Each structure stands twice: as C-alpha cells, then as structure tokens.
Amino acid sequence: MKKFALILTLILIALCAAAPSNAATQASASVAEAVEDNRPELRWGGDSEGGFPYMFPSPVNPDKLIGFEVDIVDAIAEYLDRKPVYVNNAWDNLIPGLERKMYDIAINGLEVTPEHEEVINFSIPYYKTFLQLAVRKETNDIKTIQDCKGKKAGTLKESYAQEMLKEVGGIDIKTYIVEANTYEDLANGRLDAAFFDHPIALYSAGFNPEIKFVGPPVGELKYAIAMRKADKGLQRDINRALVYLRDSGKLREIYDKWNLWTPVMAEEFNDYSPTKIEPVYYNDWAEQHKPVLTLSKRIARYVDAMPAFGRAAIVTMQVSITAMILAIALGLALAITRVFAPKWCSHLASCYIEVVRGTPVLIQLFFIFYGLPSIGIKLSPFWAGAIGLGLNYAAYEAEIYRTGLFAIPRTQWEAALALGMTRWQAMREVILPQAVRVVIPPITNDFISLLKDSSLVSIITMVDLTKTYGQISATYYDYFGPGILVAIIYLIIGLPFVRFARYTEKRLGAMDKDGKRGHRENIYRSSTRYL
C-alpha cells in the first residue's frame, strides 16, 4: 500500500508540475486584469476543436486561442466596452448551450438558416462565402457535386453543404464534427470528395499536396452571431458594433490578415480596392503546416502542448475520482436496499439499476446537462459530468456489492444474531467488512473503466484529456504523436490502480490459503462489544 500511495503521489506531483508552467503566468495575468478590467463580461461560445480559421489553439502556443472570429469578438467587445470571455462547446451543441444560458452569444461559422431563425436571433451577417468541392489529386471524374452520385462525400454535420448533397441525391454522405478529419479521410481514400465552406477548405486542404479543389464556387452562405430571442437589446448592440467595424475598415483588415477577402466579400461590402495588408496570420499558418517536419520540430510541438495536457489530466482525475466516490456510496445504498429493504423499496432499486444499465451513458450526460435546465436544474459541466458518470456506475457497483453480500455464508448472519447483535449491527460489524474485501478488486477495475469513460464529458464542454487531444491534433494535423502522448498519460494515471487491484487480489488469495481465518476473527472481535 505504501508503494501504491507513493506512486500515486508522484503522478499527481508530475501532473501539477506540468500544468502550472503556464498556469502561474495566467494567474498573475488574471490578477492584473482584474485590477484594470472591471468591464461587464461578454460571454461567447464556440468550438475550438478543428475550428480553423474561425477559432483554434495557436500552433505556436496551444494555450492561446486565435482565429478570425476571435478577432471579430475582441473588436466587438472593445467597441461595446465589455470583456470577452470564451466558453468552449461542441459545434453541434452551440445553440442548445445558448438556450441554456451558458453564454451570451454564439459564433463559429453559424449559418443563417430558416431552421436556426426559428429558435434564435441572428445579428446582421459579418461574413459571406461559398462552398468548395475537393477531391484527391489523381481524381478526374468529379468536377461538380452532381458527379458525386454513387460516391462517398464528407461534409460538416447539420450544415448547408449537407443539405445540398441531400438535394442532389444518390450520394453516400458522411458527416463530421471536426473538419480536418474529413480531409484526412479524403487523402487516405476513405472518401471520394469533401464539400465544405471555402474558409474551411482553404485552411484544411490548401496545404495538402494530395488534395485539389475542383469546380466553381457553389451556393451562398452568410455567417452571423447567434443570440437568444429575448436578448433584443444585445442584438441591437452587436449590430451597431458590426456596422462600425465594417464602415471603419476593421473587418476588412481582419479578413486581409487571414487571407479571407474574396470577390464574394468585395461584392458584399462594395469594396473592390486591392489588398494593402499582408495575410500575416495565413502565412504563419502555412509555415506551421508545411508537409515535412523535422523530428526536433515535432518534439518541440509536443513539449509546448504538455502544460495543456497536464491541466487536462488533472481535470480528468478530478471528475473521475468525484464520480467514483458517488458511485461507491450510491451503489452500496442500492445493494443494501435491494437485498434487505422491503419488497417495494427493493423493486425501486432494481428498476433504477436496470434503467441505468440499459441506457447509454452518453444519453444520460446529455439529459443531465441539457435536459435538466428545462425544469430549473442547472449544473456546471464538472458536476454534470461527475454526477452523470457517478449515477451510471452506481448501478454496476450495486451489482458488485450484491454479489459480495451473497458471497458471505449465511452462517455468519446466524452466528452474529445468536451473539445478541441486531440486524444492523451484524451488517455493519460482520457482513460489510467481509463483503468489502471481496469487492475491492472489481471496484478497482471499475474505476479504471470509469477513468477511460470520463472522456465522454468532453461532449458537455469540459476540456479533459480527450478534448485537449482533439484540439491539439486538429490544429497540428497530427493525430499520431499527440495520440501516443494521451495514451501514455491515461496509462500513467490508471497504472497505480491496476497495481492496487493486483495487490488486493494477492492479499485476499493469501487469506483464503490460510484457512479463511478472517471470517471467524471478524465475528469474534465484533461480537465481544455486545457481550
């Protein structure tokens, strides 16, 4: 046990040491900011996972969020004299998060559509673009989206591009959340074509020598900032800010720096003047994503990403440990209720166990985080994740405990009651201590499983190890190296608990070989209190 505690302590120290390397700087900066920035907050939601050029972690500094929409929000906040506060959420959950009041506005290439306008309000459009078709370099039989009939085409989930592909018909449509994954599948031959907004195509495939753009611009898309229906005043403020940024030339400047000024935008803004500003941000992106990287540059990237991985690992451990504590306590209560409580209570416990085990944990997390607010119950992402996982695993722990209780011979009960103990005293002093020893190994194994299942909390805006892996991998176009790093971190976190499970199994096995003296000793020591 001492070795286990030492190993676990060393891991926690290592993780904490990795995280604060940048956290200390952030903390000091936040203190200074708090002194000089007392402006009201403008909370805005977006998805930084693969969100280039909209918003994404900087390839140079993964802790810094960059993108042309980040620049637009900063400019709006400056005009309105408000402090921008970023809230991360999955792209397809941005509107539910807005309705849940997680943030004031949502911006992430959100398209103005009749479906969206039924549930939210939009600002005036801040960007106009088109759809771009991409294929592998050797492909010559696909020139338009009509040529995609009978072939596999990838696009963004719940997007205008998806609707256009459906209208063509006869296309095997594969939808994605992370844009970079689409172009990876295209380059690897899993898709025949990719169909995305031009900014996405430019940044995701423009540097891939295995992919080319084909066909003319398709369709018309307008991006706007989303707000709740009730926030009419905020809508007027945002519109006023966007008009100012457009008329002052600040929006044009942002688009020039990101190489996003197109003939379509020139027509929209009625500004046909030549570009005077170098696309510095686009050039930086291109430099960071050259096809060939040396080993030293790759290692440097991974080293730069370690603080982010360290903080994410701590979040993963926190939510896993909290969830397991809840699962153990509730699971024990459910097991005792099912075995010893009146029949109607036992049936309720059995019903809970069967319902929870029979429904996906992902659905349960969605229900807790997005469903409960409709009846006035709002939980933070951390507590929604911890409670969701805890309630789910409690059902499995209950069955483990029940098995442990049934593993204790009935004669133990009879002997304890014969010595004058009450049923509760017999349970507390004789039965449970023995049952706990039996169930420790499977409970430890369950914690290891929960640790891995904690990756699901990334869907409810928590930036855990899995979410961080997705953000950094999509930013670098590198899923191999970061994937190995994350796997190693998960292994390091879980290894002490694996060792602990083996240790307890050996100890229990040794007790069994010694003639199972533990049963008799436990009854004798416990019963002497009541004689």
Q: Which residues contact 30 (CB under 8 A, 6 or more apart)?
A: none
- pLDDT at 525 exceeding the cut of 80: no
More confident site: 55 or 480: 55
CB-based contact 241:76 (threshold 8 Å): yes
The pLDDT assigned to 126 comes to: 96
Average pLDDT over the chain, rounded to an integer: 83
Please give the pLDDT value at position 150: 93
Structure confidence at residue 252 (pLDDT):
95
pLDDT at position 527 over 50: no
pLDDT given for residue 71 in this prediction? 97
Neighbours of 414 (CB within 10 A): 11
Report the pLDDT averaged over residues 207-223.
88
Give the DSSP per-residue string, 464-508: -HHHHHHHHHHHHT-SHHHHHHHHHHHHHHHHHHHHHHHHHHHHH
Phi, psi torsion values for 281, nearest 5 degrees: -70, -40
Alpha-carbon distance values, 257 to 48, 68, 201, 253, 278 (Å): 19, 9, 17, 6, 6
Count CB atoms within 10 A of the CB of residue 217: 14
Residue 515 clears pLDDT 80, i.e. is over it: no
Tell me if 499 sits within 8 A of 7, measured CB to CB.
yes
Q: What's the pLDDT band for 10 if we cut at 50, 70, 90?
A: very low
Tell me what percent of the residues of the chain surpass a pLDDT of 70: 86
Mean pLDDT of 1-6: 44
Cβ–Cβ under 8 Å, residues 329 and 474:
no
Decide: 412 and 430 in contact? Cβ < 8 Å.
yes
37 by Cβ neighbours in 10 Å (0-12 / 13-18 / 19+) ranks as exposed
pTM of structure: 0.69
19-28, 120-129, 179-188, 509-518: which is most confident: 120-129
Amino acid at 71: D
The confidence band for 21, taking pLDDT boundaries of 50, 70 and 90, is very low
Instruction: Measure the CA–CA gap between 349 and 336, rounded to whole angstroms.
Output: 9
CB 48 within 8 A of CB 57: yes
The reported pLDDT for the residue numbered 383 is 93
Give the mean model confidence (pLDDT) for residues 355-365.
91
Q: Is the pLDDT of residue 207 over 60?
A: yes
How far is the CA of 229 from the CAs of 90, 92, 373, in angstroms?
Answer: 21, 19, 17
Averaged pLDDT for residues 506-527: 52
Domains and CATH numbers, the chain: 42-109+227-292 (3.40.190.10), 127-222 (3.40.190.10), 299-530 (1.10.3720.10)
Could you tell me which residue, 15 or 112, shows the higher pLDDT? 112
Rounded distance, CA 135 to CA 210, Å? 9
- Output phi, psi for 39, to 5 deg: -70, 150
Q: Report which of 221, 265, 259, 229 is spatially closest to residue 246, judged by C-alpha positions.
A: 265
As a whole number, mean pLDDT of residues 331-344 equals: 87
More confident residue, 410 or 363: 363
pLDDT digits (tens, 9 = 90+) for 384-408: 999 999 999 999 999 888 888 777 7
- Of 209, 171, 172, 213, nearest to 196 by C-alpha is 213
| pLDDT classification of 242: cutoffs 50, 70, 90 | very high
Predicted confidence at residue 80, as pLDDT, reads: 95
Alpha helices in 290-431 (DSSP H): 295-340, 343-357, 361-366, 381-407, 410-418, 423-426
